[in-house]
């Protein structure tokens, strides 16, 4: 009987984890423990748990193997997101170099170039598939930061393989089953050999992630080369679908609420209002909808007993809509970000603490720039009153296409 109940819970989690978590939180409160099939999971939906797990007690938690093993086909065994302790520190320090101020200063020009190329596709049109457009834009900017200048054919071959790999791993993540998949293995190998070919042959001018890694990790053996490929795969995984999904969601909100567009157009030089619109999108639809951790020791998490090895899902989406911290939590009100009245851990779309997103400054720059430039050029509206449906896979992203009506200003 108990086992049957556990499998029913697993089924409803698998079908729609967002609805499952919201319903359980309403019934059981901000911290609850559920047996999903044979796995015991704690769900934490309050900023105080985030503060402890990512801040004050972060040394007592590591990435959850239950979840992170499932994305190994994407990130490899030693991609930055998978690492802990000294090896994580070493690789993080090396990879952080591409986000230093002098390199960041060069990114806007490159971003504008790729965005304007996308705009050429919609200049004569009256409708746009905004997910496709934003995916193409963020993939090209990510590939440039990661590999330097690469040609269109490489962009296209990476794009379809990567999107399929992400989708297939996302399904595995929800099912809690890790059955070997020939298709996943096939795509993984195809992508890795393409990247391996770039790493071992191409010597690009300028500074990019690949050149930094090649310089700092001498490719003396296969192990070192694999470590480099793992980082390149990881940054691609982390660096474009997340930004594309959030940008598409932002433009959906902008199309739905025309008053946002007017305010974006008359924004100040610092793009303060545009930034609040993007932050509000990240609050409502955080691409990293939950952060999965595992206790490395028996511990107390704000009065909750946690045993060594327990898995805890920090529910970012629930925290960012927590009614104690966010008034009208489901409403789109960008102005709320002008008030500096929220506890730090109540808004964490990029995580927090030492494992905070490596590319958060780049993502903010890329998104605010795109939202601002697109609104200056076009007026967006919804062709019908379609709601924004999201699906939680590896990341949270819109279901199907988002088609927007577009008029050139
Ligand atoms: C809107 C866009 C993005 C969102 C919402 C996002 C979110 C996140 C979050 C929440 C984490 C922490 C995961 C955890 O603590 O378990 C993370 C880690 C990471 N992100 Fe992002 N990210 C975005 C864009 C990017 C970009 C553009 C890059 C790079 C080009 C990037 C690279 C990474 C890397 C390498 C990590 C792992 C850091 C580590 O483990 O030390 N992300 N991201």
CA 292 to ligand 1: nearest atom: 16
Does 98 sit in the ligand 1 pocket, CB within 6 Å?
A: no
Distance CA(252)–CA(386), nearest Å, equals: 10
Distance CA(56)–CA(52), nearest Å, equals: 5
CA 363 to ligand 1: nearest atom: 27
Q: Are strands 378-381 and 390-392 parallel, antiparallel or unpaired?
A: unpaired
CA 286 to ligand 1: nearest atom: 5
CA of 240 to the centre of ligand 1 (A): 10
CA of 282 to the centre of ligand 1 (A): 13
CA 245 to ligand 1: nearest atom: 1
Residue closest by Cα to atom 24 of ligand 1: 239
Does 80 sit in the ligand 1 pocket, CB within 6 Å?
A: yes
CA 234 to ligand 1: nearest atom: 35
Does 148 sit in the ligand 1 pocket, CB within 6 Å?
A: no
Does 91 sit in the ligand 1 pocket, CB within 6 Å?
A: no
What pLDDT score does 211 carry? 93
Tell me the best of 244, 358, 368 to mutate to test the pocket of ligand 1, counting ligand atoms within 8 Å of each CB and taking the most. Answer: 358
Distance CA(308)–CA(298), nearest Å, equals: 4
Please state the length of the chain: 409
Q: Are strands 390-392 and 396-398 parallel, antiparallel or unpaired?
A: antiparallel
Give the number of other CB atoms < 10 A from CB of residue 356. Answer: 11
CA of 239 to the centre of ligand 1 (A): 7
Q: Which domains does the chain have, with CATH numbers?
A: 2-408 (1.10.630.10)
Residue closest by Cα to atom 37 of ligand 1: 81
CA of 182 to the centre of ligand 1 (A): 28
In tens digits, the chain (409 residues) has pLDDT values of 677 877 888 888 888 899 999 999 999 999 999 998 778 999 999 999 999 999 999 999 999 999 899 889 889 999 999 999 999 999 999 999 999 999 999 999 999 999 999 999 998 899 999 999 999 999 999 999 999 877 777 777 788 888 888 778 777 766 666 666 888 889 999 999 989 988 887 566 678 999 999 999 987 888 999 999 999 999 998 988 899 999 999 999 999 999 999 999 999 999 999 999 999 999 999 999 999 999 999 999 999 999 999 999 999 999 999 999 999 999 999 999 999 888 999 999 999 999 999 999 999 999 999 999 999 999 999 998 888 999 887 789 898 889 999 999 9
């Amino acid at each position: 009987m108990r086992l049957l109940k556990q499998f029913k819970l697993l089924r409803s989690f698998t079908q729609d984890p967002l609805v499952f978590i919201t319903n359980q939180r309403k019934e059981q409160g901000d911290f609850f423990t559920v047996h999903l099939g044979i796995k015991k999971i704690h769900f934490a939906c309050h900023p105080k748990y985030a503060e402890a797990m990512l801040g004050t007690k972060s040394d007592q938690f590591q990435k959850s193997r239950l979840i992170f093993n499932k994305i190994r086909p994407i990130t490899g065994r030693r991609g930055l997101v998978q690492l802990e302790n000294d090896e994580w520190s070493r690789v993080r320090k090396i990879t952080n170099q591409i986000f230093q101020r002098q390199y960041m200063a060069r990114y806007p020009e490159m971003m504008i170039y790729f965005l304007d190329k996308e705009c050429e596709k919609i200049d004569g049109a009256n409708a746009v598939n905004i997910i496709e457009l934003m995916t193409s834009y963020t993939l090209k900017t990510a590939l440039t930061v990661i590999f330097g200048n690469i040609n269109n054919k490489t962009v296209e071959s990476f794009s379809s393989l990567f999107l399929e790999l992400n989708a297939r791993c996302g399904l595995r993540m929800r099912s809690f089953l890790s059955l070997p998949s020939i298709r996943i293995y096939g795509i993984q190998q195809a992508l890795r050999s393409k990247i391996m070919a770039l790493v071992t042959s191409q010597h690009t001018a300028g500074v990019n992630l690949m050149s930094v890694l090649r310089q700092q990790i001498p490719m003396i053996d296969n192990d070192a080369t694999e470590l480099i490929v793992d980082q390149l795969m990881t940054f691609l995984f982390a660096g474009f679908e997340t930004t594309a999904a959030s940008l598409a969601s932002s433009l959906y909100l902008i199309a739905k609420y025309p008053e946002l567009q007017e305010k974006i157009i008359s924004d100040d030089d610092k793009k303060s209002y545009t930034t609040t619109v993007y932050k509000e999108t990240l609050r409502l639809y955080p691409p990293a909808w939950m952060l999965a951790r595992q206790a490395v020791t028996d511990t107390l998490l704000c009065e909750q007993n946690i045993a060594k090895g327990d898995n805890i899902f920090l529910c970012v989406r629930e925290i960012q809509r927590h009614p104690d911290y966010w008034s009208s939590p489901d409403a789109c009100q960008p102005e709320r970000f002008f008030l500096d009245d929220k506890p730090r851990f109540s808004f964490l779309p990029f995580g927090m603490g030492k494992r905070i997103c490596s590319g958060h400054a780049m993502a903010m720059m890329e998104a605010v720039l795109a939202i601002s430039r697109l609104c200056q050029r076009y007026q967006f509206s919804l062709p019908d009153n379609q709601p924004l449906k999201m699906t939680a896979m590896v990341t949270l992203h819109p279901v199907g296409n988002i088609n927007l009506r577009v008029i050139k200003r």
